Structure 1
Amino acid sequence: MHVDGRVDGVIDSDHDLSIGESGYVTGLVKAKKIVLSGVFEGKVICENIEVLATGKLIGELVCNDFVIETGGKFIGQSHEMTEGGMVVSLPETFEQLAKTAVESLSHEPHGGIEPLKPVEKPMKQTAKNKKS
Protein backbone atom coordinates (compact mmCIF):
# COMPACT_ATOMS: atom_id res chain seq x y z
CA MET A 1 0.00 0.00 0.00
CA HIS A 2 1.26 3.50 -0.82
CA VAL A 3 -0.05 6.72 0.74
CA ASP A 4 0.30 10.13 -0.90
CA GLY A 5 -2.18 12.36 0.90
CA ARG A 6 -3.75 12.31 4.35
CA VAL A 7 -5.02 9.26 6.24
CA ASP A 8 -6.40 9.40 9.80
CA GLY A 9 -7.34 6.19 11.62
CA VAL A 10 -6.26 2.56 11.70
CA ILE A 11 -4.28 0.72 9.02
CA ASP A 12 -4.03 -3.02 9.72
CA SER A 13 -2.06 -4.78 6.99
CA ASP A 14 0.02 -7.93 6.58
CA HIS A 15 1.84 -6.26 3.68
CA ASP A 16 4.34 -3.43 3.19
CA LEU A 17 3.35 0.23 3.55
CA SER A 18 5.06 3.24 2.04
CA ILE A 19 4.20 6.81 2.94
CA GLY A 20 5.33 9.22 0.22
CA GLU A 21 6.80 12.69 0.71
CA SER A 22 3.32 14.23 0.44
CA GLY A 23 1.83 11.57 2.74
CA TYR A 24 0.59 12.38 6.25
CA VAL A 25 -0.74 9.48 8.34
CA THR A 26 -2.06 9.76 11.91
CA GLY A 27 -3.38 6.93 14.04
CA LEU A 28 -2.51 3.30 14.63
CA VAL A 29 -0.64 1.34 11.94
CA LYS A 30 0.41 -2.30 11.64
CA ALA A 31 2.33 -3.43 8.59
CA LYS A 32 5.11 -5.84 7.69
CA LYS A 33 7.61 -3.23 6.45
CA ILE A 34 7.23 0.56 6.40
CA VAL A 35 9.17 3.03 4.27
CA LEU A 36 8.51 6.58 5.45
CA SER A 37 9.25 9.60 3.26
CA GLY A 38 6.38 11.73 4.62
CA VAL A 39 4.99 12.14 8.13
CA PHE A 40 3.56 9.53 10.48
CA GLU A 41 2.09 10.50 13.85
CA GLY A 42 0.75 7.89 16.28
CA LYS A 43 1.57 4.28 17.14
CA VAL A 44 3.17 1.88 14.68
CA ILE A 45 3.90 -1.84 14.81
CA CYS A 46 6.03 -3.46 12.13
CA GLU A 47 8.82 -5.92 11.53
CA ASN A 48 11.02 -3.15 10.15
CA ILE A 49 10.79 0.53 9.35
CA GLU A 50 12.98 2.83 7.32
CA VAL A 51 12.66 6.58 7.86
CA LEU A 52 14.10 8.24 4.77
CA ALA A 53 15.78 11.68 4.68
CA THR A 54 12.44 13.49 4.19
CA GLY A 55 10.54 11.30 6.68
CA LYS A 56 9.30 12.21 10.14
CA LEU A 57 8.01 9.70 12.72
CA ILE A 58 6.28 11.10 15.81
CA GLY A 59 4.94 8.71 18.43
CA GLU A 60 5.43 5.16 19.63
CA LEU A 61 7.18 2.48 17.62
CA VAL A 62 7.27 -1.29 18.18
CA CYS A 63 9.56 -3.09 15.72
CA ASN A 64 12.56 -5.36 15.21
CA ASP A 65 14.64 -3.28 12.76
CA PHE A 66 14.66 0.52 12.79
CA VAL A 67 16.69 2.56 10.28
CA ILE A 68 16.83 6.36 10.04
CA GLU A 69 18.61 7.99 7.10
CA THR A 70 20.54 11.22 7.64
CA GLY A 71 17.94 14.00 7.71
CA GLY A 72 15.12 11.71 8.85
CA LYS A 73 13.39 12.59 12.13
CA PHE A 74 12.12 10.48 15.03
CA ILE A 75 10.40 12.00 18.05
CA GLY A 76 8.98 9.50 20.52
CA GLN A 77 9.62 6.08 22.00
CA SER A 78 10.74 2.85 20.39
CA HIS A 79 10.35 -0.66 21.74
CA GLU A 80 11.81 -3.91 20.52
CA MET A 81 9.17 -6.42 19.52
CA THR A 82 9.92 -8.85 22.38
CA GLU A 83 8.24 -9.80 25.60
CA GLY A 84 10.15 -11.84 28.16
CA GLY A 85 12.72 -12.75 25.50
CA MET A 86 10.07 -14.08 23.11
CA VAL A 87 8.96 -12.40 19.92
CA VAL A 88 5.46 -11.00 20.25
CA SER A 89 3.25 -11.62 17.23
CA LEU A 90 2.12 -8.54 15.33
CA PRO A 91 -1.63 -9.19 15.78
CA GLU A 92 -1.28 -9.58 19.57
CA THR A 93 0.79 -6.41 19.89
CA PHE A 94 -1.62 -4.52 17.62
CA GLU A 95 -4.60 -5.65 19.72
CA GLN A 96 -2.82 -4.56 22.93
CA LEU A 97 -2.11 -1.08 21.53
CA ALA A 98 -5.64 -0.71 20.16
CA LYS A 99 -7.09 -1.74 23.54
CA THR A 100 -4.83 0.74 25.34
CA ALA A 101 -5.92 3.54 22.99
CA VAL A 102 -9.62 2.77 23.57
CA GLU A 103 -9.13 2.51 27.35
CA SER A 104 -7.31 5.83 27.55
CA LEU A 105 -10.19 7.54 25.75
CA SER A 106 -12.83 5.81 27.88
CA HIS A 107 -11.28 7.11 31.14
CA GLU A 108 -11.89 10.66 30.05
CA PRO A 109 -15.49 11.89 29.95
CA HIS A 110 -16.78 12.30 26.42
CA GLY A 111 -13.52 10.96 24.94
CA GLY A 112 -11.55 13.84 26.42
CA ILE A 113 -13.79 16.49 24.88
CA GLU A 114 -15.65 18.86 27.16
CA PRO A 115 -19.40 18.93 26.48
CA LEU A 116 -20.94 22.21 25.39
CA LYS A 117 -22.73 24.11 28.12
CA PRO A 118 -25.99 25.88 27.34
CA VAL A 119 -25.76 29.63 27.21
CA GLU A 120 -28.49 31.49 29.00
CA LYS A 121 -29.44 34.74 27.36
CA PRO A 122 -30.79 37.44 29.65
CA MET A 123 -34.38 38.31 28.93
CA LYS A 124 -34.78 41.77 27.44
CA GLN A 125 -37.10 44.06 29.27
CA THR A 126 -39.88 45.32 27.09
CA ALA A 127 -43.05 47.17 27.87
CA LYS A 128 -44.97 43.85 27.76
CA ASN A 129 -42.85 41.92 30.28
CA LYS A 130 -41.95 44.77 32.67
CA LYS A 131 -43.34 44.40 36.14
CA SER A 132 -44.90 47.50 37.60
Structure 2
Amino acid sequence: MFSAKNSASKNDPSNCTLLSAGSVLQGELSLPSDCRIDGAICGKVQCTQTLLVGQSAMVQGEIRAGKILVYGTVKGLLYATEIEILASGCVDGDIYADSLCIEPGGRFTGESHTLPATSRQPHSAADNSKPLPQKPNTLAIDINS
Protein backbone atom coordinates (compact mmCIF):
# COMPACT_ATOMS: atom_id res chain seq x y z
CA MET A 1 0.00 0.00 0.00
CA PHE A 2 2.83 2.43 0.80
CA SER A 3 5.47 1.32 -1.69
CA ALA A 4 5.62 0.70 -5.40
CA LYS A 5 7.69 -2.39 -4.61
CA ASN A 6 4.73 -4.15 -2.97
CA SER A 7 2.71 -6.67 -4.94
CA ALA A 8 -0.75 -5.84 -6.28
CA SER A 9 -2.42 -7.71 -3.43
CA LYS A 10 -0.60 -5.58 -0.88
CA ASN A 11 -1.73 -2.42 -2.71
CA ASP A 12 -5.34 -3.33 -1.96
CA PRO A 13 -6.66 -0.77 0.57
CA SER A 14 -8.61 -3.53 2.31
CA ASN A 15 -5.24 -4.93 3.46
CA CYS A 16 -4.47 -1.73 5.39
CA THR A 17 -5.60 -0.77 8.88
CA LEU A 18 -6.32 2.95 9.35
CA LEU A 19 -6.59 4.91 12.58
CA SER A 20 -8.10 8.16 11.32
CA ALA A 21 -7.36 11.70 12.47
CA GLY A 22 -9.18 12.53 15.70
CA SER A 23 -9.11 8.90 16.88
CA VAL A 24 -7.41 8.12 20.20
CA LEU A 25 -6.23 4.66 21.25
CA GLN A 26 -4.63 3.61 24.53
CA GLY A 27 -3.20 0.12 24.97
CA GLU A 28 -1.78 -2.51 22.61
CA LEU A 29 -2.42 -2.83 18.90
CA SER A 30 -1.23 -5.88 16.92
CA LEU A 31 -1.72 -5.83 13.15
CA PRO A 32 -1.05 -8.49 10.49
CA SER A 33 -0.93 -5.99 7.60
CA ASP A 34 0.08 -2.46 6.63
CA CYS A 35 -1.13 0.29 8.95
CA ARG A 36 -1.60 4.04 8.66
CA ILE A 37 -1.99 6.11 11.82
CA ASP A 38 -3.40 9.63 11.55
CA GLY A 39 -4.78 9.81 15.11
CA ALA A 40 -3.15 9.40 18.52
CA ILE A 41 -1.86 6.22 20.15
CA CYS A 42 -0.44 5.80 23.63
CA GLY A 43 0.89 2.28 24.13
CA LYS A 44 2.44 -0.49 22.07
CA VAL A 45 1.98 -1.02 18.32
CA GLN A 46 3.09 -4.17 16.47
CA CYS A 47 2.73 -4.33 12.70
CA THR A 48 4.13 -7.15 10.56
CA GLN A 49 4.33 -4.96 7.45
CA THR A 50 4.74 -1.19 6.93
CA LEU A 51 3.53 1.28 9.55
CA LEU A 52 2.99 4.86 8.38
CA VAL A 53 2.69 7.58 11.02
CA GLY A 54 0.76 10.36 9.24
CA GLN A 55 1.52 14.06 9.50
CA SER A 56 -1.31 14.67 12.02
CA ALA A 57 -0.44 11.58 14.11
CA MET A 58 1.05 11.36 17.59
CA VAL A 59 2.35 8.01 18.84
CA GLN A 60 3.74 7.64 22.35
CA GLY A 61 5.13 4.27 23.38
CA GLU A 62 6.76 1.40 21.50
CA ILE A 63 6.49 0.58 17.80
CA ARG A 64 7.64 -2.70 16.23
CA ALA A 65 7.16 -3.10 12.48
CA GLY A 66 8.81 -4.36 9.33
CA LYS A 67 9.19 -0.77 8.09
CA ILE A 68 8.27 2.53 9.75
CA LEU A 69 7.59 5.78 7.86
CA VAL A 70 7.31 8.84 10.13
CA TYR A 71 5.52 11.93 8.80
CA GLY A 72 4.12 12.89 12.22
CA THR A 73 5.39 12.68 15.81
CA VAL A 74 6.65 9.61 17.68
CA LYS A 75 7.89 9.57 21.28
CA GLY A 76 9.33 6.29 22.50
CA LEU A 77 11.08 3.21 21.13
CA LEU A 78 11.06 2.21 17.46
CA TYR A 79 12.11 -1.25 16.19
CA ALA A 80 12.13 -1.99 12.44
CA THR A 81 14.36 -3.27 9.68
CA GLU A 82 13.97 0.10 7.95
CA ILE A 83 12.95 3.47 9.43
CA GLU A 84 12.41 6.70 7.49
CA ILE A 85 11.82 10.06 9.15
CA LEU A 86 10.34 12.31 6.48
CA ALA A 87 10.63 16.12 6.26
CA SER A 88 7.59 16.70 8.51
CA GLY A 89 8.48 13.84 10.89
CA CYS A 90 9.75 14.06 14.45
CA VAL A 91 11.08 11.20 16.59
CA ASP A 92 12.00 11.68 20.24
CA GLY A 93 13.33 8.38 21.57
CA ASP A 94 15.56 5.47 20.70
CA ILE A 95 15.65 3.79 17.30
CA TYR A 96 16.69 0.18 16.65
CA ALA A 97 17.03 -0.42 12.89
CA ASP A 98 19.26 -1.84 10.18
CA SER A 99 18.54 1.19 7.97
CA LEU A 100 17.73 4.74 9.10
CA CYS A 101 16.99 7.60 6.70
CA ILE A 102 16.24 11.15 7.82
CA GLU A 103 15.06 13.60 5.15
CA PRO A 104 16.11 17.25 5.38
CA GLY A 105 13.68 18.86 7.82
CA GLY A 106 13.05 15.59 9.67
CA ARG A 107 13.93 15.69 13.37
CA PHE A 108 15.40 12.98 15.57
CA THR A 109 16.36 13.30 19.23
CA GLY A 110 17.65 10.16 20.91
CA GLU A 111 19.95 7.25 20.22
CA SER A 112 20.20 5.11 17.11
CA HIS A 113 21.22 1.46 17.41
CA THR A 114 21.68 -1.43 15.03
CA LEU A 115 18.71 -3.77 15.27
CA PRO A 116 19.55 -6.70 17.59
CA ALA A 117 19.41 -10.09 15.86
CA THR A 118 16.60 -11.20 18.19
CA SER A 119 14.41 -8.25 17.11
CA ARG A 120 14.68 -8.53 13.33
CA GLN A 121 11.09 -9.81 13.09
CA PRO A 122 8.27 -7.73 14.60
CA HIS A 123 6.91 -10.79 16.48
CA SER A 124 10.17 -12.49 17.42
CA ALA A 125 10.65 -14.92 20.29
CA ALA A 126 12.54 -12.18 22.13
CA ASP A 127 9.38 -10.08 22.08
CA ASN A 128 7.72 -10.49 25.47
CA SER A 129 4.23 -9.94 24.10
CA LYS A 130 1.62 -12.67 24.07
CA PRO A 131 1.29 -14.65 20.83
CA LEU A 132 -1.78 -14.09 18.70
CA PRO A 133 -4.59 -16.50 19.58
CA GLN A 134 -4.77 -19.54 17.33
CA LYS A 135 -7.98 -20.71 15.69
CA PRO A 136 -9.20 -23.92 17.29
CA ASN A 137 -9.08 -27.09 15.23
CA THR A 138 -12.65 -28.11 14.47
CA LEU A 139 -13.94 -31.35 13.00
CA ALA A 140 -17.46 -31.44 11.57
CA ILE A 141 -19.21 -34.75 10.96
CA ASP A 142 -22.55 -35.14 9.20
CA ILE A 143 -24.40 -37.83 11.19
CA ASN A 144 -27.41 -37.79 8.85
CA SER A 145 -25.66 -39.55 5.97
| 1:37-52 alignment runs, 5 A limit | 37-52=71-86
| 1:11-90 alignment runs, 5 A limit | 11-82=45-116, 87-88=117-118, 89-90=120-121
Q: Cα gap change, 1:44/1:94 in structure 2, threshold over 3 Å: closer, same or farther?
A: farther
Q: CA deviation at 1:3?
A: 0.5
How many pairs are equivalent? 92
From the two aligned structures, give the one with the greater strand fraction. 2
Q: Using structure 1 for the length normalisation, give the TM-score.
A: 0.65
The answer as to whether partners of 1:24 and 1:38 remain within 8 angstroms in 2 is yes
Aligned identity (percent) is 29
Point out where structure 1 has 5 or more consecutive residues left out of the alignment: 99-132
Structure with greater Cα Rg: 1
Q: Cα gap change, 1:56/1:92 in structure 2, threshold over 3 Å: closer, same or farther?
A: farther
1:101-124 residue CA offsets vs partner (Å, 9 max, x unmatched): xxxxxxxxxxxxxxxxxxxxxxxx
The answer as to whether partners of 1:45 and 1:93 remain within 8 angstroms in 2 is no
- 1:9 is matched with which residue: 43, 57, 66? 43
SS in 2 for 1:81: coil
Distance 2:44 2:115 in 1: 19
1:23-43 residue CA offsets vs partner (Å, 9 max, x unmatched): 100001100001100000001
Q: Which residue of 1 aligns with 2:11?
A: none
Q: Cα gap change, 1:40/1:48 in structure 2, threshold over 3 Å: closer, same or farther?
A: same
From the two aligned structures, give the one with the greater helix fraction. 1
Q: Using structure 2 for the length normalisation, give the TM-score.
A: 0.59
Distance 1:94 1:76 in 2: 22
Q: CA deviation at 1:93?
A: 5.2
